[in-house]
Amino acid sequence: MIVVGLDLSGKDTNPSGFCTIFYKEHEITSFQSLVDNIEKVIVEDVFSNEDIVNRIKELNPNLAAIDAPFGIAKDIWRTSETFLLTKGFKPVSTQLINMRGLAERAVSINNQLIGYRKIETFTKAIESILQINKEYFLDSIRDRLEKKGNWNRGKISKDQYDSILCGLCALLHLQNKTEQIGNKLDATDLIILPLMQ
């Protein structure tokens, strides 16, 4: 099983974190079982929409999870973002210029990936819901973690780490261990989050 996680940047001149997770097809019964059955994690930086689309098509994953808005709010917030706010998270409104640019970029990428399964997610919520300690988690997969490009003194970037969080959510979604928040009648206003505690 292969999933992709993408922490999309607002501009193609900035790196987007991109993660590929190869996973043994075992049932996920806990966060530890999720981690234990990861075979390999590859992180890299990607830039242009074309590179992102081509990379996903090349991998042909079971699912791609993307941290970026799939739509633009008609008012200040989408329904899904309102839910995040009630849970204490801090999404940024797509009415702001920078976030609008990010949403437009995500919409463009989605339109070029017709036929490929993809979901919108929110990394800050993933980390909180799964109660992930970043350093402990990265240490636990260090022997299965590869990075394309320079290692930056052995560390991965925040964007690359966030792309791994997206990938974890994708794995959970494939095993029906997620929930949809937002407007279930509007595919551009649905955020997928883990159910596990």
Check residue 26 and give its pLDDT. Answer: 84
Domain range summary for the chain, segments of one domain joined by +: 2-194
Q: What is the CATH number of domain 2-194?
A: 3.30.420.10
Model confidence pLDDT, tens digit, residues 135-166: 999 999 999 999 987 655 568 999 999 999 99
Q: SS in 3 state form for the chain?
A: CEEEEEECCCCCCCCEEEEEEEECCCCCCCHHHHHHCEEEEEEEEECCHHHHHHHHHHHCCCEEEEECCCCCCCCCCCHHHHHHHHCCCCCCCCCCHHHHHHHHHHHHHHHCCCCCCEEECCHHHHHHHCCCCHHHHHHHCHHHEEECCCCCCCCCCHHHHHHHHHHHHHHHHHCCCEEEEECCCCHHHEEEEECCC
The low-confidence residues of the chain, meaning pLDDT below 50, are none
Check residue 155 and give its pLDDT. Answer: 81
Please give the model's pTM, rounded to 2 decimal places: 0.95
Model confidence pLDDT, tens digit, residues 165-192: 999 999 999 999 999 999 999 999 999 9
